[in-house]
Amino acid sequence: MAPVIVPTTPFNDQKPGTSGLRKKVTVYSQPHYVANFIQSIFDVMSGSGDDGIQGQTVVVGGDGRFYNPEAIQIIVRMAAANGIGRLLIGRGGILSTPAASNVIRKYKAFGGIILSASHNQGGPDGDFGIKYNTGNGGPAPEKITDAIFKRTGEITEYRTVEAPDIDLDRLGASELEGMTVEIIDPVADYAELMESLFDFDQIRSLFRGGTQGGTQGKQFRMVFDALSAVTGPYATEILEKRLGAPAGTVLNGTPLPDFGGHHPDPNPVHAHDLVAAMTGPNPPDFGAASDGDGDRNMIMGPNLFITPSDSLALLAANAHLAPGYAGGLRGIARSMPTSRAADRVAAKLGIPGFETPTGWKFFGNLLDAGQATLCGEESAGTGSDHVREKDGLWAVLLWLNILAARNQPIGEIVRQHWRELGRDYYTRHDYEDIDTATADAMMADLRAALPTLPGTRIGDAEVKTADDFEYRDPIDGSISKRQGIRISFADGSRVVYRLSGTGTGGATLRVYMERYEPDPAKQDFDSQEALAGLIATADTVAGISKRTGRDKPSVIT
């Protein structure tokens, strides 16, 4: 049957942000909205001759949120009409973001379409998202997302076929208008990859009590909160089935289209079940959570929240204890607002440390070029060169491998690290859903003030440098401007301001604050207390409370 050509007109708001195009479900479910964006991806990737997407393998999967099945059926029909050779789809239309990255790489696919709005709320009034990943398994770089956006503004028609919905639940191959559709097990390939990186025997014996995980005389216990999102089946298979953790280790393990009404965002506010389990008189030895699409992680010890920035530094310092990293690391990359704890580890190991803009797409070139092995973001994203996305469960397994190998409680490992390299007190304050004009004006005024700030005093603090972060990719030379305002003070502390690029309502201002504390006697304070002075300074410099009328942030991590 010939493809059907459907006339359409452009939507003017299909500009991908930090990670794909995120919009409310009510926006995405408008007629032609998904189709226009998908056709724009296919048009941009069509190339000429052999270098285009036609005839190639493409991976499709999402985090299972509301509207996932409907969007996948639209994509399947359009892929057939656009001459895609083979689609690999996770069963039920589900693939975690890191699992999708792995499938793209393992099966040498041309690219992948990932459906997720990650940590954003789901459900009919929640958010949906679509992201294109290239053949390296990573999010498309800016030159491709810019081209896709340009195309969405010119589109006049899209191609589809008339065909019934395919059965997303039946494993195996079928054919649709000359295209092969293969439904694959979403967990199997990923679990195999994890087994190749970590010492599963050693972790198994940790759970069996063979080593004590530092909690002498009692069995090692952990909880993993999947937040009713995509990692539930992955965590249950790997932690409970393959590694022998007792049933019940995984909390909220069944993925729900609306995540049970919660934000699937692993931070101390939204991962409340995890925080409750890890707080109190007799908590488990180790706790973790992941986000909507499985690429983020949150790590806790007994009565201890480990910031993602510290987690990155500690994983880097100890990665050699896992078989996959026994040969050492090539380099460590962190996003600009992530604390400098990782840089101290890079310096100690004598390897390069890189500072990139926010968003995983900026790590791709460094990973592909073999210059960085571990990457991380303060927003609870950590990963390595095993895939080209951040990977929540991977981080949890690396931690488990380290705990099993060191046979020491996690709190002791963290404090020892601080004693040796110093502690970077760190916090992020988010002001969500503020008026867009107010947020833009605040950033514009900050930018305008940058040249005059160095040398001035704000309270006790003296500004040393102030700039708007500009990144030159060391591999392809591309330049990304206006990636966040950085203000450093004479005592080495730092404030960063940027606006979120993943929200769907109003603006979200993120303020990142950090201060280095080398003195072991001063490393055990609560971070909000330890940073109180800097928090006040950050408010004064930008006039946050005055301009927004908010007396406190919406979320503190």
Which residues would be at the binding site for ligand VG1 (CB under 6 A)? 18-19, 118-119, 291, 295-296, 335, 358-360, 377, 379, 381, 500-502, 510
Q: What are phi and psi of 404, to 5 degrees?
A: -65, -40
> Do residues 498 and 510 lie in contact, with contact meaning Cβ atoms separated by under 8 Å?
yes
Kindly tell me which of 116 and 548 has the beta carbon lying closer to ligand VG1.
116
Q: Which 3 state secondary structure label does DSSP give 543?
A: coil
Specify which residues 114 forms β-bridges with.
61, 131
Cβ at position 119, least distance to ligand VG1 in Å: 5
Question: One-letter amino acid identity for 261?
Answer: G
Kindly tell me which of 39 and 133 has the beta carbon lying closer to ligand VG1.
133
Q: Residue 136 binds which entry of ligand VG1, Co ion, none, with Cβ cut-offs from 5 to 8 Å by kind?
A: none
Tokens of 85: 């050779």
Q: What are phi and psi of 64, to 5 degrees?
A: 85, 10
Is 500 one of the catalytic residues? no
CA nearest to 94, candidates 65, 57, 127: 65
The total number of residues shown for the chain amounts to 557
> Do residues 166 and 291 lie in contact, with contact meaning Cβ atoms separated by under 8 Å?
no
Kindly tell me which of 118 and 202 has the beta carbon lying closer to Co ion.
118
The number of beta carbons lying within 10 Å of the beta carbon of residue 519 is: 9
Q: Largest Cα–Cα distance in the chain?
A: 75
Tokens of 220: 């090692």
Q: Judging by DSSP bridges, how do beta strands 297-301 and 457-458 pair with one another? A: unpaired
Instruction: Give how many residues touch Co ion by CB under 5 A.
Output: 5
Kindly tell me which of 199 and 293 has the beta carbon lying closer to Co ion.
293
Specify which residues 157 forms β-bridges with.
7
Tokens of 241: 């089935």
- Only one of the segments 37-45, 288-296, 357-365, 425-433 lies at the binding site for Co ion (rule: CB under 5 A); that segment is 288-296
Cβ at position 381, least distance to ligand VG1 in Å: 6
Tokens of 37: 């964006």
Cβ at position 470, least distance to ligand VG1 in Å: 17
CA nearest to 13, candidates 25, 31, 32, 27: 27
Cβ at position 428, least distance to ligand VG1 in Å: 9
- Only one of the segments 42-50, 290-298, 346-354, 450-458 lies at the binding site for Co ion (rule: CB under 5 A); that segment is 290-298
Of 96, 118, 228, 493, the active-site residue reads 118
Cβ at position 151, least distance to Co ion in Å: 25
Looking at beta carbons, which residue is closest to ligand VG1?
Answer: 118
Q: Residue 501 binds which entry of ligand VG1, Co ion, none, with Cβ cut-offs from 5 to 8 Å by kind?
A: ligand VG1
Kindly tell me which of 230 and 238 has the beta carbon lying closer to ligand VG1.
230
Q: What are phi and psi of 20, to 5 degrees?
A: 85, -175
Cβ at position 414, least distance to ligand VG1 in Å: 22
CA distance 167 to 164: 9
Kindly tell me which of 339 and 358 has the beta carbon lying closer to ligand VG1.
358
Kindly tell me which of 295 and 514 has the beta carbon lying closer to ligand VG1.
295
Tokens of 271: 């991962």
Kindly tell me which of 285 and 310 has the beta carbon lying closer to ligand VG1.
310
Cβ at position 360, least distance to Co ion in Å: 9
Residues 291-330: x/- map of binding to Co ion (CB under 5 A)? Answer: x-x-xx----------------------------------
Residues 114-133 that bind Co ion (CB under 5 A): 118
Q: Residue 389 binds which entry of ligand VG1, Co ion, none, with Cβ cut-offs from 5 to 8 Å by kind?
A: none
Cβ at position 358, least distance to ligand VG1 in Å: 5
Under the criterion CB under 5 A, does residue 377 sit at the interface with Co ion? Answer: no
Q: Residue 500 binds which entry of Co ion, ligand VG1, none, with Cβ cut-offs from 5 to 8 Å by kind?
A: ligand VG1
> Do residues 297 and 393 lie in contact, with contact meaning Cβ atoms separated by under 8 Å?
yes
CA nearest to 306, candidates 435, 417, 408: 417
Question: One-letter amino acid identity for 154?
Answer: E
DSSP 157: E
What sign does the CA torsion over 334, 338, 341, 347 have? positive
Query: What DSSP string runs through 513-525?
Result: EEEEE--GGGS-S
Looking at beta carbons, which residue is closest to Co ion?
Answer: 118
Residue whose structure tokens are 């942000």: 17
CA nearest to 258, candidates 379, 130, 120, 380: 120
- Only one of the segments 87-95, 167-175, 287-295, 543-551 lies at the binding site for Co ion (rule: CB under 5 A); that segment is 287-295
Cβ at position 57, least distance to ligand VG1 in Å: 23
> Do residues 313 and 342 lie in contact, with contact meaning Cβ atoms separated by under 8 Å?
yes
Kindly tell me which of 39 and 335 has the beta carbon lying closer to ligand VG1.
335
Kindly tell me which of 141 and 359 has the beta carbon lying closer to ligand VG1.
359
Q: Residue 228 binds which entry of Co ion, ligand VG1, none, with Cβ cut-offs from 5 to 8 Å by kind?
A: none
Cβ at position 362, least distance to ligand VG1 in Å: 9
369-390 as b/e: b if 16+ CB within 10 A: eebbbbbbbbbbbbbbbbbbbb
Torsion of CA 254, 257, 259, 264, to 10 degrees: 110
Q: Residue 202 binds which entry of ligand VG1, Co ion, none, with Cβ cut-offs from 5 to 8 Å by kind?
A: none
CA distance 430 to 263: 15
Specify which residues 430 forms β-bridges with.
510, 555
Which residues of this chain interact with Co ion, rule CB under 5 A?
118, 291, 293, 295-296
Enumerate the active-site residues.
Answer: 118
